[in-house]
Structure 1
């Protein structure tokens, strides 16, 4: 069977996308998804997405981690699938679509390469020692530090992700360095089981955690630098609840093709 695929990236977080409105791709075989995401034996990607019809929304986003298993919400993936939907002519400048964590609103530039994606509201942040733990559609651990550029994110992130507390369900591990006018973030992602160039739900979790730590309230905009580029997080915080949370950044088509599965 030959399938048409599209490769998109958002700040270096890369994804394989399939137009599955005709339900031609059967997503029950996790081994196929895992092979497609393999960077040596497949197309290569941090994740895999199916764009499908939904009676109440412009489309439905079905996301799979690179290991082939169904994933929780992926922020950069969400921005990329919005760009994909515009490419397919499903949407124009705005959309409401359904993801695993519920409905999402997004708006996209006329050029189709910049997406502002609304994330879920957050009212719970807990602590694990000095680190913050919260769920922005996916579970995240946020640790502030210095010297992040040379830090061993892979080994230290893997250790936290697999410790006694988080081993069973897994958690995404974010390290953040406050550089004054922006935050520098590096993330070890579960499901990929490696550091990625960006993590959308991760930088969202970091921005909210840092605002919580600093006691910032009102409308807050937080520029974030990741290995793959720059993102911006916007939100309102009244001291107890984060609302109007937007993950903003690039979403670009890299290439398309066909592959036999």
Structure 2
């Protein structure tokens, strides 16, 4: 097998992109996807994304975690896929596409900043020690004094595999305040089973959780992740969060061709 691939990253969250409009990629080959994402034996990435034709929108997004399994929505992956679609001349300044969680709209400017509309959120569970909500992927959020002092992989895994979330598990985010109404976020991602440099659905969930817990009162929140900075904008209407946008850079890294004999 031989594939042309493109590598993209959004604030350090990196992805192997493949144009699958001709339906050449073996989509059910979990081991192949895991191999391509492997940082030692393959290309290396947090996930793999296929761009496919759609009969109504500009394209379809098919997302796999680095463990090889198709997964729930990936915000940074969606932003990177918009940049990839622009590179392929599938879209120009605006994009409409379908992902596993439904319809998405996005814009991309000349500097490569992608503003991606996320799904509406109408349920936020605020508990004594954590907040939980789904922004296309499930997210557990804990507010801490300083995220630098958290062992994200160890504590994140213990929560992800706990009885609280059962077999499905959850992504886990730790948040602490910085200056000027900015927040630091570190995320443990299920499917990657480690901390990633950034998680788009995670910072989206964090922004809503901050507002729901009255830690911010504005509807635009800046967040520092390990790989850079992202912004989230939203509108709150009687407990429902609408017009939620994840905003940040999506950058092309390199293009290559891989020929696979065995894996």
Matches for 1:85-100 after TM superposition, within 5 Å:
85-100=85-100
Report the more deviating stretch, 204-213 or 177-186. 177-186
Cα-to-partner distance string for 1:102-152 (whole Å, 9 max, x where unaligned): 0100000124x2100000011101134420010000000000001211311
Tell me the residue number matched to 1:202. Answer: 202
SS at match of 2:50: strand
Matches for 1:15-30 after TM superposition, within 5 Å:
15-30=15-30
Over 3 Å counting, the alpha-carbon distance change for 1:44 and 1:61 in structure 2 is same
Tell me the residue number matched to 1:57. Answer: 57
Tell me the residue number matched to 1:247. Answer: 246
Q: CA deviation at 1:208?
A: 0.2
SS at match of 1:204: helix
Over 3 Å counting, the alpha-carbon distance change for 1:118 and 1:248 in structure 2 is same
Matches for 1:103-118 after TM superposition, within 5 Å:
103-111=103-111, 113-118=112-117
List, as ranges, runs of 4+ consecutive aligned residues in structure 1 with deviation greater than 3 Å. none
Distance in 1 (CA, whole Å) between partners of 2:215 and 2:242 is: 15
Unpaired runs of 5+ in structure 1? none
Is this contact kept in 1: 2:126–2:213, CA < 8 A? no
Unpaired runs of 5+ in structure 2? none
**TM-score for the superposition, normalised by structure 1:** 0.97
SS at match of 1:187: strand
Distance in 2 (CA, whole Å) between partners of 1:238 and 1:3 is: 46
Distance in 1 (CA, whole Å) between partners of 2:216 and 2:5 is: 43
Q: CA deviation at 1:215?
A: 7.3
SS at match of 2:256: strand
Is this contact kept in 1: 2:182–2:222, CA < 8 A? yes
Say whether 1:137 aligns with 2:141: no
Q: CA deviation at 1:173?
A: 0.2
Is this contact kept in 2: 1:37–1:48, CA < 8 A? yes
Cα-to-partner distance string for 1:23-64 (whole Å, 9 max, x where unaligned): 111111100000100000000000000000010010000000
**TM-score for the superposition, normalised by structure 2:** 0.96
Is this contact kept in 2: 1:203–1:224, CA < 8 A? yes
Say whether 1:36 aligns with 2:36: yes
How many residue pairs were aligned?
259
Is this contact kept in 2: 1:215–1:239, CA < 8 A? no
Tell me the residue number matched to 2:147. Answer: 148
Tell me the residue number matched to 1:12. Answer: 12
Over 3 Å counting, the alpha-carbon distance change for 1:157 and 1:215 in structure 2 is closer
Is this contact kept in 1: 2:9–2:253, CA < 8 A? yes
Cα-to-partner distance string for 1:68-94 (whole Å, 9 max, x where unaligned): 001100000000000000000000000
Is this contact kept in 2: 1:216–1:237, CA < 8 A? no
Q: CA deviation at 1:238?
A: 2.6
Is this contact kept in 1: 2:175–2:186, CA < 8 A? yes
